[in-house]
Amino acid sequence: MDINDTMSNSTAVLWLPNTTMTTTSIPAVHSYTVRVVVGVLFLLIAVINITGNSMVIFAVIFSKKLRTSTNVFVVSLSSADLLAGLALPMSSVALISPGNSWPGSTEAPCYIAGLLLYTSSSASLFNLASIALNRLILIKSPMKWYRILYTKCNLVINVVVIWTVAIVIMTVPPLCGIGDYGYDKQQHTCTDLDNHPRAKTFKKIQTFGSYPISFVIIITSYIIIFVHVRRHFKKQMRNDDNITIPGCSSSGRGNSFQTSDNAAVMRAGRRDRISQQQLEITKNLFMAVCAFFICITPYSVALFIPNNDRFLLFGGVVFLCNSCVNPIIYAAKHPQFKKVLRLMLRCKYSEIEEPSDTIKHLKACCCKS
């Protein structure tokens, strides 16, 4: 056999760093119909993701009232999710394009999309953990300590550390020859390469570097918050027994019955309000924990199950849904965010409370025009 024929059958892909692969055929994991369905789902997730997270970021830009320490992490979370949404269309192109190769002349866009997707996913997990920890300290610690811990300088350091750790986890291993990003011929997506010689090691680094720490912080924080809130409500309900009705005399049997009836009505009403508050807080915490479990856990667990190639693509779809749910849980459920977001949807920017300088400049520009 001629040496040229041998070279044509096994051509090295040289543009990717630390990667030596061949163009030998890789068996298809999914049919083209499945690829199209998942590609459309990716596009739908991207549209919802970009719309929701952009509105959260602009809401904080437009309203000074939303510029709290907790919302610093909410904006960082929305920025991470937004990057994931911007990276998804590349995977949709790869999935919908027929054949088993990247449709463009270079895989560079696919490589960048995969890197952005994984880095933003890791940063999103760390931001979720930071929000949970922030809420825990806000509820359990004295306000003096909360203000000391969450100064402007400390908030900047915290966010920088979150993104630095996420970038290191997702970029250092490929630079050291452990895994890589690009067009995955098995899953037909812009992701980490499953056919890389050290792909499994890279996946374990991704999972252990991002998931367990976030998991422990989120679950522990919300459990402590729930226990604390429940004790607080029980204490309030016990204090209801000491309610007295001002202006009512206890002398006389009729007045005694009247006082007792009024106190009972007040206690019942107070208990109803407390129960309703407890229910709302419990629902919000339950939603946050469920979103974390349902969206992220299946994909992370699947990485350690052998022969899971068929499930990984669908697990990735569920994982990415978390980037769409986060704006709803951490922003739209917030009373102040609700007001600003509704005004933005109605284009009533002039009615936003405590408008920022950005809004004032926009008003000035509109008046001039």
The domain segmentation of the chain, as residue ranges, is: 25-211+295-360
Listed range (29-38, 99-108, 202-211, 248-257) with the worst mean pLDDT: 248-257
Q: How confident is the model at residue 250 (pLDDT cuts 50, 70, 90)?
A: very low
Compute the distance between CA of residue 191 and CA of residue 184 in angstroms, rounded to an integer: 6
Compute the distance between CA of residue 274 and CA of residue 71 in angstroms, rounded to an integer: 26
Query: Is residue 159 within 8 Å of residue 80, measured between CB atoms?
Result: no
Listed range (104-108, 180-184, 360-364) with the worst mean pLDDT: 360-364
Question: With 60 as the cut, is the pLDDT of residue 328 above it?
Answer: yes
Rounded to the nearest 5 percent, the helix, strand and coil shares of the chain are 75, 5, 20
Q: What is the mean pLDDT of the chain?
A: 79
* pLDDT confidence of residue 305: 75
Task: Output the CA–CA distances (angstroms, integers) from residue 120 to 27, 123, 164, 323, in the order listed.
Answer: 30, 5, 11, 10
pLDDT digits 0-9 by tens, 306-326: 776 677 778 888 888 888 888
Tokens of residue 217, six digits: 């912080």
Helices (H) and strands (E) in the chain, counts: 11, 2
* pLDDT confidence of residue 225: 84
In sequence order, the β-bridge partners of residue 181 are 192
Residue with the bigger pLDDT between 59 and 22: it is: 59
Q: Which CATH architecture has domain 25-211+295-360?
A: Up-down Bundle (1.20)
Question: With 70 as the cut, is the pLDDT of residue 122 above it?
Answer: yes
Tokens of residue 5, six digits: 């024929």
Question: With 90 as the cut, is the pLDDT of residue 151 above it?
Answer: yes
* pLDDT confidence of residue 199: 86
Compute the distance between CA of residue 208 and CA of residue 165 in angstroms, rounded to an integer: 13
Listing DSSP states for 6-73 in one string gives HHHHS----SSTT----------SS-HHHHHHHHHHHHHHHHHHHHHHHHHHHHHHHBGGG--HHHHH
Measure CA of the first residue to CA of the last residue in the chain; give whole Å. 75
Q: Hey, which of 190-199, 252-261, 264-273 has the most confident mean pLDDT?
A: 190-199
Tokens of residue 120, six digits: 């933003």
Q: Which of 152, 148, 87, 161 is nearest to 118 (CA)?
A: 87
Chain centroid offset of residue 193 CA: 24
Residue ranges in 252-307 assigned as alpha helix (H) = 253-302
Q: Average pLDDT in the 157-184 region?
A: 94
Question: With 60 as the cut, is the pLDDT of residue 209 above it?
Answer: yes
